[in-house]
Amino acid sequence: MGASTLNAVPHEEVSGGSDDSAASAAQVYLWDRREIEFLLWELFHVDRQFLGTAPYQHTTRAAVDELFARAQEHAKHLAQAFYQGDRDPARLQEDGEVHIPAAFLPLWEEHKRDWFWLRQQGDPIEVHGEAGIRFPQLVIQLATELFAGANAAFMCYAGFTPSAATVIRSRGTELQKKVFLPALDMVRWDACFCATEPEAGSDLMAISTTARPLSGEVYAVTGEKCYITAGVHPLTENTVYLVLGRLVGGSTSPLAMSCFIVPRFWPDDSGRLVDNAVECTQVEDKMGLNGCANTRLVFGRAGVTRGYLLGNKPNAALLQLAMLMKKARIGTGAIGVAVSSSAYLHALTYARKRVQGAAFDRASDLRAPRVPIVEHCDVQRMLLEMKAKVEGSRMLLCRISFHASMIQQLVYRKQKLGEDIDRDLIEKHGRLALLYAPMAKAYISDECWNVVTQAIQVHGAVGYFRDRPLEQYARDLKILTIWEGTNYIQSQDLVRDKLGFGRQPLAMKDFEGEVRACLDRRDEHPELAPEFAAVESALAELGSALEAIQRHASAGRQLLVSQFCTRFLGMFGDVVTAWNLLEAAAVAAHALRSPQLKETEAAFYRGKLASARFFCHNLLPAVAARAQIIRTAEQSFVHIDPADFGYEA
């Protein structure tokens, strides 16, 4: 399966847990440092592409290595509260306060002190200064993956604040920046997003929260929001809500939504925090991520809830918050990769140790030796599927953060250094990052859920036990397919908005150009000829499916297209994954030609070839089948009368 350096991050033992040594050994967060090194230095060449060049001129490879060493230590501390966060869940107390796991309070102080600065480096260079070490987004993404993998529930409290500060910094008025940014930047206050309502879940057009003007930029906000992640907690002195609502007496257009900055406690003229009539009426009892308080909030019932109209601009929320929502969707995929990667490594570790049965071709031979289950072909099938999906999904996120790093670098060189940078190149990186965003959320969350269920299967019965992290991984991960817009909404975004039903070909041409640049190197790697052919064929099938969607849409058959958006996103994700794995395999094939290669390194690189070959010949062929379904959509489309489902409650 390829050799790797597994780094174990121990979890805290919990009361009632098994004392069995095997179970105790399983209570760890696992990550593969060798895999991270491969991505940084061999595939994306972060040292050659970014380090030592403005704005990363003060950053060295040694600094990156030190960053990951420190991140691993912090992940150890986060992992110690992994089980407690699940078994001592957030809940609403009788006094109206919200209880969260006790271990989260000191963890928050550590995270705030040592790690928020890294999250803030996503802002433009001038915001937090040019001096000192700055890390490319690609490095930041891979470093913070450790935190999400070690304790996803805790990281939910930290996730939104940097993005909210960026929105206020870029869209807010001078007054709003003065009121909120100092506290948010110092993390004395945190922030969260309030969009969903009891009758407005995926359909934001149904939002009924309203606001009426009080004075200047201040409005009185009235309404109810539900499923608000990290909505109320004791970690900070105040929480700032970005609330979607409508102006009383304003435009009747369903798209006319405004964003209001509503603090839980209102800062008066003296700076004192006073009650702002924000009520927490419920903390949800959830399937997973139980340490994170998922809250129901009521504004304006117990008094006047005051909020600022973001930028003092009405009906502009969707434009103002577009980048924030994109980041949230990519962050959802990052949690999926972090947790499912650990699940895969647990399955691999267990399969190497668990001895069960003889080889298939000697099953009836009573004298045949029992073998570790990693030697059974069907277990290898599951492990290879997990390996390929985790690696491919992580590389998809890396591509997005690579493009973000390039944009930051190019914009800095153009604006600050006065270099003649091609604007079209900057825009190309932006188009590709936006194109991948729906897949980062939907494709990754679907595939990572599959990875975790496969990891449980490899463990057999013990994978179902609570003294191992796998069952909690499954419960924690399932929400990701629903969060930040369901995966069907992401597929609509891809087909309709990013690709314009195939009528806006620029982003697709950019993508095809990236893949064909890889395919053009096939002569350098004859050992991968079948895989190059498979990716080329799948790329053609993807293009054919998009052409069919364009024909249907041009003929006015958008309803028909809607039934195939999810499948198109899935096949697009498969093509991206296959291409990513092929790129990695090509690097590995080149490395394997070195006669001085150590066996452990050779095993790692052979594993890269195995990932690409397995995916290209076992999973990628489904692209052609889905393309055929889309091409013959008139026959495949099924629109059933709801009564025909038969069952009546």
Per-residue pLDDT tens digits for 291-327: 999 999 999 999 999 999 999 999 999 999 998 888 9
Is the pLDDT confidence value at 467 over 90? no
Is the pLDDT confidence value at 14 over 60? no
Residue 304: what pLDDT?
98
Give 355's Cβ-side CA count (13 Å radius).
4
Please write the tens of the pLDDT for every residue from 491-509: 999 999 999 999 878 999 9
Nearest C-alpha neighbor of 437 from the set 500, 497, 386: 497
Ranges 22-26, 191-195, 202-206, 298-302: which has the least confidence? 22-26
Rounded to 5 degrees, what are φ and ψ at 520?
-65, -15
Give 541's Cβ-side CA count (13 Å radius).
26
pTM given for the model: 0.93
* Average pLDDT value for residue range 579-597: 97
Residue 217: what pLDDT?
94
Residue 351: what pLDDT?
97
* Average pLDDT value for residue range 102-111: 96
User: Which H or E element spans position 23?
Assistant: helix 21-26
CATH number belonging to domain 187-317: 2.40.110.20
Share of the chain above pLDDT 70, in %: 94
Rounded to 5 degrees, what are φ and ψ at 129?
90, 160
Coil vs helix vs strand at 550:
helix
Is the pLDDT confidence value at 47 over 80? yes
Residue 111: what pLDDT?
95
Is the pLDDT confidence value at 559 over 70? yes
Is the pLDDT confidence value at 165 over 60? yes
Is the pLDDT confidence value at 13 over 50? no
Residue 339: what pLDDT?
97
CA 442, 445, 448, 450 torsion-angle sign? negative
* Average pLDDT value for residue range 356-382: 90
* Average pLDDT value for residue range 533-560: 95
In the chain, helix, strand, coil percent, each to 5? 60, 10, 30
Is the pLDDT confidence value at 72 over 90? yes
For residue 381, what pLDDT band results from cuts at 50, 70 and 90? very high
Look at strands 294-299 and 278-283 and give their pairing: antiparallel
CA 364, 369, 370, 376 torsion-angle sign? negative
Residue 470: C-alpha distances to residues 6, 456, 476 (Å): 17, 6, 10
Residue 28: what pLDDT?
78
Mean pLDDT, the chain, whole residue set: 91
Coil vs helix vs strand at 283:
strand
Residue 15: what pLDDT?
30
Question: What's the CA gap between 298 and 428, in Å, rounded?
Answer: 43
Tokens 């403005």 sit on residue: 54
Is the pLDDT confidence value at 128 over 70? no
8 Å CB contact between 187 and 176: no
Residue 629: C-alpha distances to residues 121, 447, 621 (Å): 44, 21, 13
8 Å CB contact between 335 and 394: no
